[in-house]
Amino acid sequence: MDAWKTRKTWLNMFSRLPGEAARTPEETARAELNCFLESHPEESCTLSVREDMGEDYILTDTGVTGGSAGILYGAYRWMACRALRVPLPSGKQSPACALRMLNAWDNMDGTIERGYAGRSLWFEGGRFSYDPARIRQLGRMLASVGINVLCLNNVNVREPAQGLISETLDELASFAALLRPFAVRLMVAVDFAQPVREGLDTADPLSPEVQRFWAEKAKKVWEAIPDLAGFLVKADSEHRPGPHTYGRDHADGANMLARAVAPYGGVILWRAFVYNCLQDWRDQKTDRPKAAYALYQPMDGRFCENVILQVKNGPYDFQVREPLSPLFYGMEHTRLALEVQLAQEYTGHQIDLYYMAPMWEELRAEMPAGSVAAVAAVTNLGRDDNWTGHPFAAANLFAYGRFAWDPASDAEAVAREWAALSYALDESQRETLVSLLMSSRAIYEQYTANLGLDWMIEPGHHYGPNPYGYEFSPWGTYNRADRFGVGVDRTSRGTDYVGQYPAPWRELYEDPEKCPEKLLLFFHRLSYGHLMADGRTLIQRLYDDHFEGARRAEELSQKLNTLDLPEPDRKEALERAALQVKNAREWRDVLNTFFFRFSGVPDAHGRTIY
C-alpha cells in the first residue's frame, strides 16, 4: 500500500478513498455520503439536486440541496459539521467569487518551482505520470473546501510544457476527466510565444496570422476539454516573452488571447507580476513596488470582459509583510484576481510553521469592497506522503479554500476546524495546536522581517538570513542599510510609491508617526535613533524583536512536543520545529550583528551580539 493512503488529512471523517465509478459531482456526493452514513448509522441525509443552484447549497439536519457542483460542496460541509457535532451553516451558501483557483508551479520534469513537499503529483520525466487514486484524493481535498480550478503547470512555461496544448493535449484531457467528478476544472499556463514554437515567425498579438493561430488553437483545445477554465499567462516578466517583445502593450496581448477563448467561455488570467528584474542597484529612483501599478493602471478599462488581471497580494512578491497592492484600489474597470502563495517560498519552506489565514484577515480589512473577481493560490502540495511537507501546512490549503469561498471566514475558527478534522486530540491539546497555528505568522515575522523589512534572505532559494544577499543585485529589492539608518523612503519626498494609494492609505503611509508599525520600514528610511511609539529606539526594537522571535520559536517547539499527535506526523512536525529553532537563532544573530556593526549601538540589555 502506498504510504500516502494511510496519512491523516482533514478528510478523516470518510473511511475510504472514493471509487472510480463516480462520473459527476452528484455521483461523488452520493458515494461519499453513503460511505459516511455507513460509519455514522445514527445519521440520515438525502441529496436533492436543483440545477439552477449551480455552486450554491442549503443544508438541513437531514438533507443537502444544491446545484450540480453545490451538491458536492454541500455534502462535504454537511459531513464535516455532523462529524464535528457543530451547527450547520444556515441559509443558502454561495461562494464569494466564481473562480477559486490553485496554481501549481509544476514542471514536466517532475520538479516544482518553489515546491517544498516533494516532486510533482502528476508530472515526471517530461510527461504525465501519476497514480489515478491519488489524483482522485486530490480532487476530493479540493472539492471538500470548494476549490474549483487547478492550473497544473508552472507559469514559467518551459519545454515540453508547451506541448500540453499541442502534442500532449489528449493526456491533458485524460487528466481533466479524473478531476471532473470533483467539480474541479483545469486551467493551463501558456507561453505567449507558442505561435513561434509552432512555426510562425512572430507572436505579435496584432498580427492576423497570430490571431488565427490562437483561434484555431483554442478550438482544438476546447474540443478536447470542453470545460477547460482558461489560460494563465506570465508575460514580459522575469525573462518570459510577451507583447512588449513586439512593441505592443499588455491590453493588446491579453485581449487577443481573450477573443480566441471567448467562444468557449474561457478566461485569460493575465499576471500583473511585471517589473524590471535587471535593475542597477545604484539606481535609487526606480522602485520595484511601483512597477505593476505604473504599467497597468493607465490600461484600466481596456481589457476584455473575459480577461482577469491576476495581482499578487503585495506590490513586491509574497514577502512576509507587504501593504496591499495599490492595483486593488486603482482598477475599477478591470476584473482582478487576488494571488496568494501557499508554497512557503518566503515564509519558511514548509519547515518553519506559518499559518496564513491571519494574513488573509488582514487583507480583507484593507481590500475595497467588490474589487476581487477571482482568487488564486500557488499550491503547497507535492508527492510527499503527507502532501505538504510539514503536516500542519495542510491547514493553509484547507484555510485557503474556506477563505476563497467566504472571505469573511474567521482564521481561528478555521484552524480549529482543520485541527479537529485532522487529529483526534482532546480539547486542551487541540486548543494548543490552534494557538500554535495562530501565533506562527507573528513569530516568523518577528525573527525575519520585523517592521516590514523584507528581502534579507539568502538569494536563490530564499531560506535563512542574508541581509547583503539582494543588496547589490539586479532584482530591485534593497534595504539600503548604512551607518545612518535603514529602509527605502517611499514617501512623496522619496520614490513616491505612496502616491499610488488613495486616501486614507496615502496619508497613513506617508507619515512615520501614523504608518502602521508593521510596515514602518517598508515605507520609510529611518535612523537607528528614531523613537518608536513605545519610547524604544529603532535599533533597540530591531534587536528586541529578533531576540524575542527566536525565543518564541523555541517555545513553539516545546509546546508542539506536548501534543499527542499520531506518528509519523509527530516526528515530522518535531523535526521541522528543531530546524525552525536553528533557523530563528541564525536570523537573530545574523541580523543583530549586521545592525550592530553598522550602528555601533550596543543592546540595552547586554545580550550577546557578535
State in angstroms the smallest separation of the CB of 232 from ligand GCV.
10
Identity at 266, one-letter amino acid code:
G
User: Exposed, middle or buried: residue 585 (CB in 10 Å: 0-12, 13-18, 19+)?
Assistant: middle
Residue 110's region, left for phi above 0, alpha for psi from -120 to 50, else beta, is left
Residue 109 near ligand GCV by CB under 6 A: no
Residue 331 or 457: the one with the smaller Cβ distance to ligand GCV is 457
Q: Which of 134, 217, 234, 349 binds ligand GCV (CB under 6 A)?
A: 234
Residue 113 or 555: the one with the smaller Cβ distance to ligand GCV is 113
State in angstroms the smallest separation of the CB of 105 from ligand GCV.
5
Residue 239 or 333: the one with the smaller Cβ distance to ligand GCV is 239
Residue 155 near ligand GCV by CB under 6 A: yes
Q: Which grid cell is 256?
A: 487577443
Name the active-site residue from 159, 223, 238, 564. Answer: 238
Asked if residues 357 and 398 have their Cβ atoms less than 8 Å apart, the reply is no
Start-to-end CA span in the chain (Å): 51
Name the active-site residue from 249, 339, 345, 569. Answer: 345
Q: Which of 57, 73, 105, 192 binds ligand GCV (CB under 6 A)?
A: 105
State in angstroms the smallest separation of the CB of 318 from ligand GCV.
7
- Cα angle value 244/245/247 (rounded, 5°): 55
State in angstroms the smallest separation of the CB of 542 from ligand GCV.
26
Clarify whether 339 is annotated catalytic.
no
Residue 288 near ligand GCV by CB under 6 A: no
Strands (E) in 74-223, as ranges, are 99-103, 123-124, 127-128, 149-151, 185-190
Site for ligand GCV in 305-324 (CB under 6 A): 317
CB atoms within 10 A of CB 463: 19
Residue 114 near ligand GCV by CB under 6 A: yes
Residue 31 or 363: the one with the smaller Cβ distance to ligand GCV is 363
Site for ligand GCV in 244-283 (CB under 6 A): 273
Residue 349 near ligand GCV by CB under 6 A: no
Residue 156 near ligand GCV by CB under 6 A: yes
Number of residues that bind ligand GCV (CB under 6 A): 9
Which residues face 601 on adjacent strands?
none
State in angstroms the smallest separation of the CB of 359 from ligand GCV.
17
Residue 350 or 537: the one with the smaller Cβ distance to ligand GCV is 350
Instruction: Report the helix count and the strand count for the chain, using DSSP H and E.
Output: 17, 15
Site string for ligand GCV, 388-427 (x = CB under 6 A): ----------------------------------------
Q: How many whole angstroms separate alpha carbon 349 and alpha carbon 333?
A: 37
Which residues face 231 on adjacent strands?
188, 268
Residue 122 or 273: the one with the smaller Cβ distance to ligand GCV is 273
Of 369, 207, 231, residue with least CA distance to 306: 231
State in angstroms the smallest separation of the CB of 355 from ligand GCV.
21
Residue 113 near ligand GCV by CB under 6 A: yes
Residue 155 or 269: the one with the smaller Cβ distance to ligand GCV is 155
Name the active-site residue from 249, 317, 352, 510. Answer: 317
Strands 526-527 and 485-486: antiparallel
Whether the link from the prior residue into 243 is cis, omega within 30° of 0, is no
Q: How many whole angstroms separate alpha carbon 226 and alpha carbon 380?
A: 28
Residue 541 near ligand GCV by CB under 6 A: no
Q: In angstroms, what CA-CA distances link 140 with 39, 303, 584? A: 19, 34, 36
Asked if residues 479 and 487 have their Cβ atoms less than 8 Å apart, the reply is yes
State in angstroms the smallest separation of the CB of 252 from ligand GCV.
21
Residue 137 or 310: the one with the smaller Cβ distance to ligand GCV is 310
Residue 145 near ligand GCV by CB under 6 A: no
Clarify whether 385 is annotated catalytic.
no
Asked if residues 183 and 169 have their Cβ atoms less than 8 Å apart, the reply is no
Residue 118's region, left for phi above 0, alpha for psi from -120 to 50, else beta, is left
Residue 28 or 107: the one with the smaller Cβ distance to ligand GCV is 107
Identity at 573, one-letter amino acid code:
A
SS3 for 34-78, per residue?
HHHHHHCCCCCCEEEECHHHCCCEEEECCEEEECCCHHHHHHHHH
Clarify whether 352 is annotated catalytic.
no
Residue 234 or 552: the one with the smaller Cβ distance to ligand GCV is 234
State in angstroms the smallest separation of the CB of 446 from ligand GCV.
23
Q: How many whole angstroms separate alpha carbon 245 and alpha carbon 238?
A: 13
Rounded to 10 degrees, the C-alpha dihedral 440/445/448/453 comes to 170
SS3 for 76-95, per residue?
HHHHHHHHHCCCCCCCCECC
State in angstroms the smallest separation of the CB of 537 from ligand GCV.
34
Residue 155 or 203: the one with the smaller Cβ distance to ligand GCV is 155
Q: How many whole angstroms separate alpha carbon 447 and alpha carbon 500?
A: 30
> Catalytic positions, please?
238, 317, 345
Residues that bind ligand GCV (CB under 6 A): 105, 113-114, 155-156, 234, 273, 317, 345
